[in-house]
Amino acid sequence: MANYEFGFIGTGSMGGALARAAAKAVDPARIILSNRTPQKAEQLAERLGCAHGGNENAAKARFIMLGVKPQMMADMLAGIAPVLAARQDRFVLVSMAAGLTMAQIAAMAGGDYPVIRIMPNTPAEIGRGVILMDADERVTEGEIGDFLAALRAAGTFDRLPEKLIDAGSAISGCGPAFAYMFIEALADGGVACGLPRAKALSYAAEMLAGAAALAGRGEKHPGALKDAVCSPGGSTIAGVRALEEKAFRAAVMDAVIAAFEKTKELGR
Ligand SMILES: NC(=O)c1ccc[n+]([C@@H]2O[C@H](COP(=O)([O-])OP(=O)(O)OC[C@H]3O[C@@H](n4cnc5c(N)ncnc54)[C@H](OP(=O)(O)O)[C@@H]3O)[C@@H](O)[C@H]2O)c1
């Protein structure tokens, strides 16, 4: 049996958020954290009660969480490849890197290792992440079950074929940035109308959370929900017209497509 259930290599914003989630379901003593700037892993490890060490120690865990940027992945994996090659026990590599396929991860790690690919998003920090995932054929259903149970505090997981992960991530992974821009713009509009900034920001964020929850129930198409807010000759339809004049929906579609294209480029 591996010493550690989880080894996190790279404890930046996403690796750190997932480590915090894992520490809620897995005995923190069975989680080890490693980071290029070691103080970052040490501080988080102290807060969570986890172990910390170098990449070569984290590479001895059962689930090895690869939390570095896609551009850093090849070098980082080359560094731990000898440790992986020497292992006699079973382990799974877990990549969260935008744009890199499971086959690319295994090739960079230097073996036919089992790989799980996840695409999380920043609301995972508060347990509200949307986490897309797939696993290659070398990963067993039992391993997937253990992995999902360990990370359930990060949010909702959805398994989808790897070829669709980049498209899904252009919404779920990049979308939070688009949503924050929308919140900020709504608040700016409110301030322009005389609202104090703090109230404007809080109304915008709460409104978006409520509207999203209603749309997320899937009972009514977003167009029907929009129609229900627009009284004939009223204020809302005047705002809708202003958004249409500025090609709001085309701009949002273009943002998703641009993010998708860039993700594909990063994986090349
Ligand atoms: N942020 C998101 O919204 C998001 C969403 C989905 C997927 N992801 C994916 O998550 C991964 C991490 O992104 P992030 O936003 O968390 O980036 P980040 O905050 O920059 O974290 C990356 C961490 O990796 C560490 N690192 C770099 N090279 C290393 C090495 N050789 N060995 C050990 N640690 C190393 C860095 O250490 P230092 O402290 O020295 O810089 C840093 O703490 C990326 O692959 C990204 O595609 C991110």
Place of tokens 């949002």: 252
Minimum-distance ligand 1 atom for the alpha carbon of 122: 3
Cβ 16 under 6 angstroms from ligand 1 = no
For residue 166, is it within any domain?
Answer: no
Task: Show Cβ contacts of residue 90 under 8 Å, excluding neighbours closer than 6 positions.
Answer: 2, 62, 114
Q: Are residues 142 and 51 in the same domain?
A: yes
Q: Looking at residue 268, what is its pLDDT?
A: 75
Residue 176: in which H helix or E strand, if any? Answer: helix 175-192
51-52 and 92-95 beta bridge pairing: unpaired
Task: Report the distance separating Cα 183 and Cα 204, nearest Å.
Answer: 5
The answer, yes or no, to whether residue 267 has pLDDT greater than 80, is no
224 is in which domain, residue-wise? 175-266
Q: Looking at residue 117, what is its pLDDT?
A: 98
For residue 168, is it within any domain?
Answer: no
Cα–Cα separations (whole angstroms), residue 158 to 57, 142, 257? 30, 17, 21
Instruction: Domain count for the chain, please give it.
Output: 2
pLDDT digits (tens, 9 = 90+) for 252-261: 999 999 999 9
Cβ 12 under 6 angstroms from ligand 1 = yes
Q: Are residues 99 and 139 in the same domain?
A: yes
pLDDT digits (tens, 9 = 90+) for 180-189: 999 999 999 9
For residue 207, is it within any domain?
Answer: yes
212 exposed, middle or buried (CB, 10 Å; 0-12, 13-18, 19+)? exposed
Cβ 55 under 6 angstroms from ligand 1 = yes
User: 117 pairs with which residues across the strands?
Assistant: 95, 134
Q: Are residues 211 and 258 in the same domain?
A: yes
Minimum-distance ligand 1 atom for the alpha carbon of 17: 16
pTM of the model: 0.92
Cβ 154 under 6 angstroms from ligand 1 = no
pLDDT digits (tens, 9 = 90+) for 73-127: 999 999 999 999 999 999 999 999 998 999 999 999 999 999 999 999 999 999 9
Q: Strands (DSSP E) along the chain, which ranges?
A: 6-9, 31-34, 51-52, 63-66, 92-95, 115-119, 129-135, 155-159
The answer, yes or no, to whether residue 1 has pLDDT greater than 60, is no
Backbone angles phi, psi at 16, to 5 degrees: -65, -45
Minimum-distance ligand 1 atom for the alpha carbon of 70: 45
Cβ 96 under 6 angstroms from ligand 1 = yes
The answer, yes or no, to whether residue 2 has pLDDT greater than 70, is no
pLDDT digits (tens, 9 = 90+) for 213-240: 999 999 999 999 999 999 999 999 999 9
User: 65 pairs with which residues across the strands?
Assistant: 8, 94
pLDDT digits (tens, 9 = 90+) for 32-64: 999 999 999 999 999 999 999 999 999 999 999
For residue 113, is it within any domain?
Answer: yes
The two tokens of residue 9 are: 């290599």
36 Cα–ligand 1 center, Å: 10
For residue 69, the tally of other CB atoms under 10 A from its CB is: 13
29 Cα–ligand 1 center, Å: 23
Last residue of a domain, one of 134, 160, 186: 160
Q: Looking at residue 66, what is its pLDDT?
A: 98
The answer, yes or no, to whether residue 3 has pLDDT greater than 90, is no
User: Do 50 and 32 meet the contact criterion of CB atoms below 8 Å apart?
Assistant: yes
Q: Are residues 10 and 117 in the same domain?
A: yes
Q: Are residues 124 and 207 in the same domain?
A: no
Q: Looking at residue 265, what is its pLDDT?
A: 87
Mean pLDDT of the chain: 96
pLDDT digits (tens, 9 = 90+) for 164-179: 999 999 999 999 999 9
